[in-house]
Structure formats: C-alpha cells, structure tokens
Amino acid sequence: MKKIEKEKLLRHLEEKGNLVRLDRARQDPLSVTKSSHLPQEELLLLFRINGDKGVEIRVPEGRGGKILFGVSPCEARAVDLLDLTFLRDRIDPYYKRKREDNVLFVLACNKPRSTCFCTSFGYGPFSGKFGDVFMVDIGDNLLIDPVTEKGSKALEGLELEEATPSDLEKMESLKRSAEGAITTVNIEGISEKLKKMFLDEIWADLAFKCVNCGACTYVCPTCYCFDIQDVERTNWGYRERVWDSCMFPIYSLETSGHNPRPTGVERMRNRIMHKFSYYPELYGEYGCVGCGRCIRACPVNFDIREALETLKEVEVAA
C-alpha cells in the first residue's frame, strides 16, 4: 500500500474532473453512489413533431464523469451487484456509460453504524476489492491502493509514498475495532430455506407492521427496479426511466386488472425473497450488502436483521 496526504489527493482529483465528496457527511439516507449510476429520473429520449419533417428523436448522451470520493465499501459492492443486472446478460447502455465514466474512490469505514451488518455477507468495512481505488483514513494520511486500471489512471501524476509498517499497523487496529463494532447476522443456508417457505404463514406476521411505502427500496443501494414512461405534450414529449418499488401495489398490477401480489404480505415476501433467495439462485450472490439503510429509513422500524432471525427460526417441513 501507498500513502498520500488527503488534501493533496483531493486537489489532484479536483483538477481531473467532477469531484463528488461523500466523505464529509454520512451518506444517508440515499446512496449517492447508486443514483450516480441509476438516477431517480433519467431521460431516455426526447421526441418532437417538426412540421412536415416528421418526428425528430434525440437521445441524450447521459455520461457519468463523476469522481465519487469516499464511497463506503458496502455501496461499492452494491454497484458490483447492479452490474449483474445491467451489464451481464443484457447490456443497458445508459447504465454502462455511467459505469465506465464514474471513478469510485472507496474509503474504508472506520466508524460503522449500529445498523451495519455487512460482515454477514463475506466482506467487511475494510474490504479493499471494490470500486476503483481503495483508501484508508489513518488520521494524518490516506493509505491508498488502486483496485482497477481506471483507478491507477486516476492516480497518474501523483507522487505516492510507500506506507510504513507503523501505518499498516494503524490500519490493522482500525480494522479490528471497526469489524468488532458490527453485529453479524448468521444467514447461512437462508436462501435454500426460503425456497421452501414461499407459502409459509410467517410472512403475514412479518408484514404486519410494514405499511408498504417505498422508503426501504429507494434508499437501498442494490434495489434497481425502474419504470419507463412516456410523457406527452402537444407536439413533443419524452421517454424517461424512473425508480419504481416492488412495495407499491401498481408495481405488479397487470393490464387485465389482476395483481399477482395483491397485498402487502406478498410484496414484503418478494422484497426479502429477491434479496436472499432469487439473487443467490441467479447470480450466486446475496442481493443485500448489509448497509442498514432500510433499517434507518423505515418509518415503522421494520428491521431486516430481525426479520432474518425470525425466518431462520421458522420450522419448515423437509
């Protein structure tokens, strides 16, 4: 690992482009990292009827070009999970452009929050494999380590010092205390178990307190559901992509009027199933990163950790 003065690095990045500081305030409740790749509202195309010339269509470029400084490891991991949806089987050009342009400077989490449970998912507050550059704030300096080629490129032209053994020791001690502050939820085997629980009665109990607002899904860094809508004016209009949430009744409402998820119970089940059963089945990864945002944003204190504990305890027939 190398090291550098924080101010020096920031000056360098400011010259490079559109620097977005995420290190100063806690990024709560919304994940700026998610919305930098998947904006709440994204213009897909504009159309205009231009006299006898017919319909003119303009597709905006929608580039990213942000240097996101101070992304937490959980948010960076979440972007990797978004990639599975937007870049694996089918490529979404709007997402891809932003993903290619944005540079993620990940900052290890020295002070995890009481709602953090990232260690439940096989990584932790000091995992250095996400994003483009990994950094650790050791007080006077930043320890820094490029993760990707894009990251190395962003650091070009900077003089980096070699980290001393005492710096690394400092990092280790910060890491130990951060990891120690996080409560791990044991989710071993949950995805297999959930497969057998689709019709279990526990869902009604779990969903009782949930009012089915979209707060949890909108603050979630891995929730990516969207809706595409055309907005029409007299002789012009546009097509846009906006966030949508599986918590809403019209999310699954079909044109016929039938709704396969008619009540909050099914919707709640879907949210948990998607993250802890369907995602592992499709991609071999959990769809949750354990950032705790949904727990903090929930107006009725639906705690996903508590829900997982409850689900673990339910007895299911083999």
Partner 1 sequence: MFEKLRETARELLSKGEVECVLGFAEGTLPMIYTPYHARKPEEAEKLVYGPFAAPNIATYLRKLKGKKAAVIVRGCESRTINLLISEKQLNREDVKIIGVPCTGALDRKRILKDYGGEIREARIEGEKVIVKGDKGEKAYVLEEYISPSCKSCLYPEAIDPDIKIDGPSRDGEKADFSDIEKIEKMSPAEKWEFFEKELSKCIRCYACREICPMCYCESCFVDSNRPVWVEPGFDYTDILSFHLIKMYHMAGRCVDCGACERACPLGIRLSFLTRKLTKDMKEAYNFVSGLSPEEKPALGVFSPDDREDFIL
Partner 2 sequence: MKDEPKILAFLCNWCSYAGADLAGTSRVQYPTNIRVIRVPCSGRVNPQFIVKALHDGLDGVWISGCHIGDCHYQTGNYYARRRFYVIKNLLEYVGVEPERVQFSWVSASEGKKFAEIAGVVTEKVKKAGKFKRLAKKR
Structure tokens at 114: 């009481």
* Size of site (CB under 8 A) for partner 1: 39
- Which residue among 189, 233, 257, 318 contacts partner 2 (CB under 8 A)? 233
Give yes or no for residue 44 binding partner 2 (CB under 8 A): no
> What does 40 interact with, of partner 2, partner 1, none (CB < 5 to 8 A by kind)?
partner 1
Compute the C-alpha angle 182/222/243, nearest 5°.
140
Which residues make Cβ contacts (< 8 Å) with residue 174, sequence separation at least 6? Answer: 108, 110, 126, 136, 138
Q: Which stretch binds partner 2 (CB under 8 A): 228-236, 246-254, 272-280, 301-309?
A: 228-236
- Which residue among 1, 32, 46, 314 contacts partner 2 (CB under 8 A)? 46
Nearest CA to 50 out of 262, 283, 237 is that of: 237
Site string for partner 1, 197-236 (x = CB under 8 A): -----------xx-xxxxx-xxx-------x-x-x-----
> What does 198 interact with, of partner 1, partner 2, none (CB < 5 to 8 A by kind)?
none
Give yes or no for residue 238 binding partner 2 (CB under 8 A): yes
Render 43-84 in DSSP notation, one character per residue. Answer: EEEEEEE-GGG-EEEE-------EEEEEE-HHHHHHHHHHHI
- Which residue among 166, 234, 256, 301 contacts partner 1 (CB under 8 A)? 301
| Residue 295 dihedral angles phi and psi, to the nearest 5° | -65, -40
- Which residue among 11, 306, 310, 316 contacts partner 1 (CB under 8 A)? 306
Q: Which stretch binds partner 2 (CB under 8 A): 3-11, 26-34, 208-216, 232-240?
A: 232-240
Give yes or no for residue 288 binding partner 1 (CB under 8 A): no
List, edge to edge, every strand of the sheet that includes 41-49: 55-58, 41-49, 236-243, 226-232
C-beta separation of 20 from 207 below 8 A: no
Which residues is 103 bridged to in the sheet?
A: 67
Place of tokens 């998820």: 261
In angstroms, what is the minimal distance from the CB of 229 to partner 2? 13
3-state class percentages of the chain: helix first, strand second, coil last, to nearest 5? 40, 20, 40
In angstroms, what is the minimal distance from the CB of 108 to partner 1? 17
C-beta separation of 316 from 200 below 8 A: yes
Q: Which residues bind partner 1 (CB under 8 A)?
A: 29-30, 40-41, 111, 113-115, 208-209, 211-215, 217-219, 227, 229, 231, 240, 242-243, 245, 248-250, 295-303, 305-306
Q: Which residues bind partner 2 (CB under 8 A)?
A: 43, 46, 231, 233, 236, 238
